[in-house]
Every structure is written in C-alpha cells, then in structure tokens.
C-alpha cells in the first residue's frame, strides 16, 4: 500500500542520511590527499564513538565468538539464537567492525604478496538471510583486485550435463586471492534436496563428495571457511516484506521466495544435516546469528581474520640489498 511504501522510503532516507553523517562518503577511491573512503568511514565511526566512549570491545571479546559460532558434527541449529548479540554493545560493535575489516585488508595484502595460499568464503542462508549485505560489509575495505565474488544461481543446461562440482571448481581462488561464494555447491544438497530435484540416491552421496572436494582444495593451499547466516523466520518475513515495499529492493523479490519460505522446516533440516556432514577441520562451518546485521558483520569479519591469521601470510623477502638503492 502507498502508506507502507511511503514509510519504507522514509526509513531508507533516514538510514541514508544517518549513514552519510556517520560514515562519510562510502567510495573506496583513493583521494588526492591519499586517504581512502574506508579511512573516512573509520574516522566517522571514531567520531561517533566519542559520543559513546564507555564501551570498548576488545579483540579477545571479538575473537571469542569464532569458537562459539564454529559448528561441530552434532550441531543443533535450534540451539543457535538468530538474535544472539554476544553481549556486544551495538555502537562498539559498529565501530569495531571496520577496524577488524582493516586487519583483514592488511592480511589480504600479505596473502596477495606472498602468493602461496588462498581463502574461500562460502556464504549460505535462505533468501534475505543477508548474504549480499555480508559481502558488502566485508568487501568495504578490501582491495578489490584480490577478491572475487561469485554468485551461483540455478544451473544452466550445460552445467547440468556435468557433475555438480564442475561449475564450482573453476571459481575457487587462485593463490594469493580471496573468493567469496554467494551460494555454492551446497545448493546441491539444499534446494535440490528440499525441492526433490533429484532423488535421494543422487544427492545423499554428495556430502562425501563435498568433504573430499574441500579436502582437495585445502591440500592445495586454499582455506575453506563456510558461513550459515542464521536468520529467524520472523526476521525473514520482515525483510521480504521490506523488499516488496521498497522500490529499490523490489527487484530482488521473486514469487519463488515464498515457496521456499513455505518449506522453512525442510530447509532448516537440510541445512543442519549439510553442516553436520561437512564441517571438518579443513573446512569448518560457522553458524552466524543473522537477525542483527551489526552482529553478523562483526562475527563474519572476526572469523575471516582468524582464518587469515592461521594462514599467517608474510611479505616475501626482497631481492638482496635493495635497502641501499636510491631511485634517481
Ligand atoms: P539468488 O541467490 O536469490 O539470486 O537466487 C539464486 C537461485 O538459484 C536460488 O533460488 C537457488 O535456490 C537457485 N540455485 C542455486 N544453485 C542451485 C542448484 N545447484 N540447483 C538448483 N537451484 C539452484
Ligand atoms: Mg533471492
């Protein structure tokens, strides 16, 4: 209705005004004074924090969630609260997120320079779980030259004429790079299972194939880190409604999203079994609380930082004795 729509536009206007005020311009371009949009954003967050000086959020408090989110082989999704906030203060978390992303960017530079290892982030979740927003939040601050984002939609006819990993393997990150998958090979044990696109005798053996595949990647120097964005059914309703009501988000909505929503419990069961069957030391799953975007963004950034620190990339040794060279 026009009223809802008006309210929603007003809400977006307010959000944009606040974002401008808080973060400054969001462009990543390097300006003539040598600063980047990201630095401006950081400065903006620091300015905001001057109004909320009371709540520092330590690295240890941030890192603690990595363990808490990591899934093991008997994970119960029902035991993970989508509204979890880990005791974080919202303002502190919003201030810290770009700083953690900054650490990620620093590690990314080394990963790139070293050119030995790579990182694959897999993002899964139902519609409106926040896959796109998570990617924006992590990307905002990374060097785009070292990151590739790939979204996987319904397979083409040619893709269907191959094994289910054929279209995936090609997009795994080369040495030095980070790849982000917006959906992935997991769709082949999620939507394919729930919608009964192929019989169980076909999809069930895929868990083992996936474990083998990710072990192959890991052995070749690719750290595989998988995120399930855990939103509540009520929050999905709210976000889908927002999509329908906002002129600039309506394009994302497809009627099929409601069919998937009607199969909520089947999807949850499919996610849970997929995570249980494929969470390994080489390629762990993380269950990320998804209802609060600021919790989600910081938890994901912290987890990525944790895994890059495990890789521990180093700048290569320079050619000998270049310290004394003076460029004429
Ligand atoms: P979106 O991520 O909203 O752009 O939608 C992509 C759509 O592609 C979703 O509805 C997925 O369920 C669907 N999709 C992705 N991978 C597969 C797959 N392997 N088989 C069938 N459908 C898929
Ligand atoms: Mg969609």
Q: Quick one: tokens of 105?
A: 């960017």
Q: What is the mean pLDDT of residues 139-167?
A: 96
What pLDDT is recorded for position 315? 97
Per-residue pLDDT at 66 exceeds 70: yes
Q: What is the mean pLDDT of residues 275-291?
A: 98
Task: Give the separation between CA 263 and CA 21, rounded to whole angstroms.
Answer: 41
Cα of 128 from ligand 2 centre, angstroms = 7
Q: What is the mean pLDDT of residues 94-117?
A: 97
Per-residue pLDDT at 60 exceeds 80: yes
Nearest to 122 by CA among 36, 195, 212, 224: 224
What pLDDT is recorded for position 323? 84
What pLDDT is recorded for position 324? 85
Nearest to 300 by CA among 311, 288, 308: 288
Task: Give the separation between CA 312 and CA 116, rounded to whole angstroms.
Answer: 11
Per-residue pLDDT at 327 exceeds 50: yes
Q: CB of 22 within 8 A of CB of 44?
A: yes
Please write the tens of the pLDDT for every residue from 287-313.
999 999 999 999 999 999 999 999 999
Q: Whose CA is nearest to atom 3 of ligand 1?
A: 127
Q: CB of 279 within 8 A of CB of 224?
A: no
Q: Whose CA is nearest to atom 21 of ligand 1?
A: 154
Q: How confident is the model at residue 119 (pLDDT cuts 50, 70, 90)?
A: very high
Please write the tens of the pLDDT for every residue from 237-253.
999 999 999 999 999 99
Look at the pTM and tell me if it is higher than 0.95: no
Per-residue pLDDT at 80 exceeds 70: yes
What pLDDT is recorded for position 2? 39
Best mutation site among 183, 257, 260 for ligand 1 pocket (most ligand atoms within 8 Å of CB): 183
What pLDDT is recorded for position 41? 61
What pLDDT is recorded for position 25? 42
What pLDDT is recorded for position 143? 93
What pLDDT is recorded for position 9? 47
Cα of 152 from ligand 2 centre, angstroms = 11
Q: What is the mean pLDDT of residues 189-216?
A: 98
């Amino acid at each position: 209705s026009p009223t809802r729509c008006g309210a929603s536009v007003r809400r977006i206007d307010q959000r944009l005004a606040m974002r401008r005020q808080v973060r400054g311009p969001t462009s990543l371009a390097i300006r003539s004074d040598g600063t980047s949009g990201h630095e401006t954003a950081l400065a903006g967050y620091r300015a905001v924090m001057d109004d909320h000086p009371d709540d520092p959020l330590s690295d240890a408090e941030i890192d603690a969630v990595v363990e808490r989110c990591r899934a093991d082989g008997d994970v119960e999704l029902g035991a993970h609260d989508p509204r979890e906030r880990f005791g974080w203060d919202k303002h502190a978390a919003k201030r810290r997120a770009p700083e953690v992303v900054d650490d990620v960017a620093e590690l990314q530079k080394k990963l790139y320079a070293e050119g030995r290892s790579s990182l694959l982030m897999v993002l899964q979740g139902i519609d409106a779980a926040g896959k796109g927003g998570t990617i924006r939040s992590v990307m905002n601050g990374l060097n785009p030259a070292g990151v590739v984002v790939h979204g996987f939609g319904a397979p083409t006819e040619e893709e269907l004429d191959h094994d289910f990993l054929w279209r995936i393997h090609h997009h795994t990150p080369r040495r030095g790079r980070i790849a982000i998958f917006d959906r992935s090979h997991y769709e082949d044990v999620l939507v394919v299972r729930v919608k009964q696109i192929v019989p169980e005798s076909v999809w069930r053996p895929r868990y083992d194939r996936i474990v083998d595949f990710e072990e192959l990647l890991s052995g070749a120097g690719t750290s595989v880190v998988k995120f399930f964005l855990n939103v509540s059914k009520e929050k999905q309703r709210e976000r889908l409604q927002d999509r329908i009501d906002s002129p600039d988000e309506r394009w994302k909505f497809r009627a099929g999203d409601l069919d998937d929503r009607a199969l909520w419990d089947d999807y949850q069961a499919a996610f849970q079994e997929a995570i249980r069957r494929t969470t390994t030391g080489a390629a762990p799953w993380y269950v990320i609380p998804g209802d609060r975007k600021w919790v989600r963004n910081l938890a994901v950034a912290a987890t990525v930082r944790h895994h890059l620190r495990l890789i521990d990339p180093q700048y290569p040794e320079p050619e000998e004795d270049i310290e004394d060279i003076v460029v004429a």
